[in-house]
Amino acid sequence: MSFELLSENRSFGGSQKVFRHPSNSCGCDMTFAAYLPPQAEDGPVPVLWYLSGLTCTHENAMTKAGLQEHASRHGLAVIYPDTSPRGTGVADDEAYDLGQGAGFYVNATRDPWRSHFRMYDYVVNELRGAVLENLPLLDRHGITGHSMGGHGAIIMAVRNPDLFDSLSAFAPIANPTQSDWGRKQLSAYLGDDETEWSDYDSTLLLEEHGWKSDILVDQGASDQFLDLLRPEALAKTMAKCRLPGTVRIQRGYDHSYYFVNTFAGDHVAWHAERLN
């Protein structure tokens, strides 16, 4: 697979790049961003995947999360995929939380979504293989994300412990089968049989499969979407199953990128310790 370089900017001694490429999984061109730290000029480096939330593109976290400074210090690359397929001919919905910008990191099985909305396969298989082939990256991967992206990070890591070595999340949609941020989208993408939804629910997956290492989750106590995110379900399951990790409730913080930016350094350092 060949990448088309769309932009490149120097950042903290490294390089912030944006690429476009044709995707077989999604049946359209996809855009993603990649930060390569200065250490990548001397050889391959571990990689941290950052999955963004509802309405975001590859660009939101690239410009607002402030990961580059920390990644440069610790010698990690950062890959920022888009949140859905896009373009003419790709199904969409008038609502902000379904369709383009709201792929929910699932493989859709229902029309009109199934021909393009295969973000799970795209990230886990296609893009992961493509960046390893085309960029100076080691096959050592951490994954994190915000909101819908936190949901995506947990489900991908738990279902693929052979592919991911470290896991964290910012305000993840933790129990989507029991939330309006989840039930609407899972029924649209997968159908009304709720037994088909469990593969995309972080809380249910952790209870069934556990996780090979520890987990770091940050959640704002003043998050305006707290009832939709259901962090208490995730924390309860981690305690019940005695899974190592930390769910930190951060007083006064909301759901914005101010929250993500505040704790980005903690998460990058946490992943670097496990990947290096």
Active site residues: 147, 223, 255
User: 3-class SS at 162?
Assistant: coil
Please report, in angstroms and rounded to a whole number, the separation of the first and last CA atoms in the chain: 28
Q: Which residues lie closer than 8 Å to 76 by C-beta, 6 or more apart? A: 37, 45, 46, 47, 48, 142, 268, 271, 272, 275
- The C-alpha atoms of residue 214 and residue 32 are separated, in whole angstroms, by 28
Q: Which token pair is 142?
A: 């951490």
- The C-alpha atoms of residue 124 and residue 160 are separated, in whole angstroms, by 8
128 contacts 251 by C-beta, under 8 angstroms? no
- The C-alpha atoms of residue 158 and residue 120 are separated, in whole angstroms, by 13
256 contacts 170 by C-beta, under 8 angstroms? no
- The C-alpha atoms of residue 174 and residue 220 are separated, in whole angstroms, by 14
- Pick left, alpha or beta for residue 230 (phi over 0 → left; psi -120 to 50 → alpha; otherwise beta): left
CA distances from 81 to 19, 24, 111, 172, 210 (A): 10, 15, 24, 17, 26
CA distances from 186 to 89, 182, 262 (A): 21, 6, 31
Angle at 168 (CA atoms; ends 199, 160), nearest 5 degrees: 40
